[in-house]
Amino acid sequence: MAIGCAKAIQDWEAKKSARASEATEIRLCAWNPPINKMDQGLNQLTSCTKLSLSTNSLDKIMNLSNLKNLKILSLGRNIIRKITGLDEVGATLEQLWISYNLIEKLDGIQSCVRLNTLFISNNKIKNWEEVSRLNQLGSLKNLLLAGNPIYEGYTKEDVKPQVIRRCGQIDVLDGTIVSDQVRKLAEEMKD
């Protein structure tokens, strides 16, 4: 058995003795039973700046249109295959935590013009062209990409210049500050 966000929010309000519409942070992680749909119930979260829906059974990102203040969206450990539905929060979203899903392509993320942090490790990204798409996100500084098929065949140190040559704006890659040496190696690869 699974439930939608509307029921989970109702349960959250009962547990917290608070109104979800007034809360700035809503944490519905590992909900029991698991949440399987981002339904219209999310529309009431107008004050929410951080929404955590990790470790559920979500397969699609949707119904974020009323979350005009959303800065952090946590969707790790679900079964999401595509990045969609972010257009509605693209102007405010600063962090997207979406590791441990089934994502292969990064189209759909370009609308997130303020995104500075993207945790997308342990997904199914196997094409370097997808990583190159992130270069369009000028504010993106912190990227967690480890555990994706594109890293296979590389050592931890050898993969860093591969990423930085495609996304030069990144300052922190896989939890480590990007060194001048890595930047130099990335620049040499461009020639």
Nearest C-alpha neighbor of 80 from the set 117, 50, 108: 108
User: Whole-model pTM above 0.85?
Assistant: yes
pLDDT at 191: 56
Predicted pLDDT at 2: 85
For 53-102, the pLDDT digits (tens) are 999 999 999 999 999 999 999 999 999 999 999 999 999 999 999 999 99
Q: Which two tokens stand for residue 128?
A: 């370097």
**CA-CA distances (angstroms) from residue 49 to 54, 67, 93, 95?**
16, 8, 9, 11
Q: Give the pLDDT mean for 119-142.
A: 97
Higher pLDDT, 154 or 191: 154
Helices 180-190 and 156-164: crossing angle, nearest 10°?
A: 60
- What is the count of structural domains for the chain? 1
What pLDDT shows up at residue 89? Answer: 97
Structural domain of 32: 3-189
Report the CATH number at residue 44.
Answer: 3.80.10.10
What's the mean pLDDT in 26-46? 97
- The 3-state DSSP class for residue 50 equals strand
